[in-house]
Amino acid sequence: MSWGPGPTIGPETRVLALTGAGVSAESGVPTFRGAGGLWRTHRAMDLATPEAFERDPALVWAFYAERRVRAAACAPNPGHLALARLEERLGDRFLLATQNVDGLHRAAGSRRLVELHGQLFSTRCSSCDRPPFEDRSAPAAPPRCDRCGGLLRPHIVWFGEQLDPDHLARVEAFLKSGGSQLVFLAAGTSGAVYPAAGLVSVARRAGAQTWLVNAEPADNTHLFEHFVEGPSGEVLPALFAQALS
Ligand code: BV8
Ligand code: ZN
């Protein structure tokens, strides 16, 4: 399949990219709602909550330990790499907001990156304010904090938990400074989870051109001016081929 020209990337163009689990699908990381999605098998909507952790920390840790093992075996795909190269090309005129926690954007070289829903390979204490730390372990039982003895937890934003206000402020400030030179591109996301799914509306109000790249129509496809249906690992390099040439 060939996809038409993507957004025109001129000397003033600013791009905000928002990615979801679909961007990591071609790397082998399961999505949540698509075919084979995690939410289908693991009732993950129930597991990714503070209540579930309170009720059964061992079950929640088993869910995240399994995801760490799977994600650790995955590598960035051409979709991640295209976004990292676009950042190289645009510098501070580019920002990547991801809902993904798998670390593949960072592994691909992205640095102007806001991880809206946390990091799978980071752990923090649920009781004291020790800073989150990198943790690639897959604990068999819920680990304890060596400072206060409290339960450690994955550094993930669960359903019902607030996103880091600094993250949202950084994304919204970038969108509001964009004006007509702003391109908002969402890729690999079903547009089901807020506040991430609401960012396209912030972009439209700021005057942005809006693009969705997704394997199938998303819940909020109607909010996008352009919808390119296809696998992000093939579409993203094609859409930005001219800008990256
Ligand atoms: C909050 C970490 C406020 C966990 C995640 C009713 C209305 C509106 C909102 C709500 C509501 N009820 C509850 C809420 C709030 C809730 C929410 O939005 N719920 C939804 C389900 C309705 N949101 C929250 O709770 C957020 N916090 O709102 O706090 C608040 C206010 C007051 C007091 C307290 C709090 C927190 C949301 C964050 C939750 N954590 N992740 C974990 O990962 O384990 S969300 C989880 O879903 C992942 O982060 C994931 O990224 C995210 C979204 O899913 P997608 O990334 O879009 O992935 P999905 O599988 O859905 O879609 C993939 C798409 O890719 C598919 O369309 C597929 O077709 C496509 N695809 C597949 N392969 C490819 C592809 N596309 C391209 N190429 C391919 N190869
Ligand atoms: Zn502690």
pLDDT, tens only, 85-111: 999 999 999 999 999 999 999 999 999
pLDDT, tens only, 222-242: 999 999 999 999 999 999 998
pLDDT number for residue 34: 62
Ligand 1 binding pocket mutation candidate from 159, 211, 213 (most atoms within 8 A of CB):
159
Binding site membership of 164 for ligand 1 (Cβ less than 6 Å):
no
Binding site membership of 30 for ligand 1 (Cβ less than 6 Å):
no
Tell the residue nearest (CA) to atom 10 of ligand 1: 194
pLDDT, tens only, 155-207: 999 999 999 999 999 999 999 987 789 999 999 999 999 999 999 999 999 99
What does DSSP say about strands 14-19 and 94-98: parallel, antiparallel, or unpaired? parallel
CA-218 nearest atom, ligand 1: 67
**Residue 180 DSSP symbol:** G
> CB of 19 within 8 A of CB of 189?
yes
Distance of alpha carbon 70 from alpha carbon 68, whole angstroms? 5
Tell the residue nearest (CA) to atom 48 of ligand 1: 99
pLDDT, tens only, 208-217: 999 999 999 9
Torsion-angle region of residue 191: left (phi > 0), alpha (psi -120 to 50) or beta? left
pLDDT, greater one: 38 or 15: 15
> CB of 128 within 8 A of CB of 148?
yes
Q: How far is the CA of 72 from the centre of ligand 2 (A)?
A: 26
Binding site membership of 215 for ligand 1 (Cβ less than 6 Å):
yes
CA-216 nearest atom, ligand 1: 69
Binding site membership of 245 for ligand 1 (Cβ less than 6 Å):
no
The yes-or-no answer on residue 226 being catalytic is: no
pLDDT, tens only, 34-66: 665 665 555 777 899 999 999 999 999 999 999
pLDDT number for residue 42: 57
Q: Across residues 10-17, what is the average pLDDT?
A: 96
Among 51, 26, 50, 31, smallest CA distance to 42 is for 31
φ and ψ at 97, to 5 degrees?
-110, 120
User: Minimum-distance ligand to the CA of 132?
Assistant: 2
Q: Tell me: pLDDT of 32 over 90.
A: no
Q: Tell me: pLDDT of 125 over 90.
A: yes
pTM attached to this predicted model = 0.95
Quote the percentage of the chain above a pLDDT of 70: 95
Collapsed DSSP state (helix, strand, coil) of residue 44: helix
Q: How far is the CA of 30 from the centre of ligand 1 (A)?
A: 14
Q: Give the pLDDT band of residue 153 (cuts 50, 70, 90).
A: very high
Q: Tell me: pLDDT of 7 over 60.
A: yes
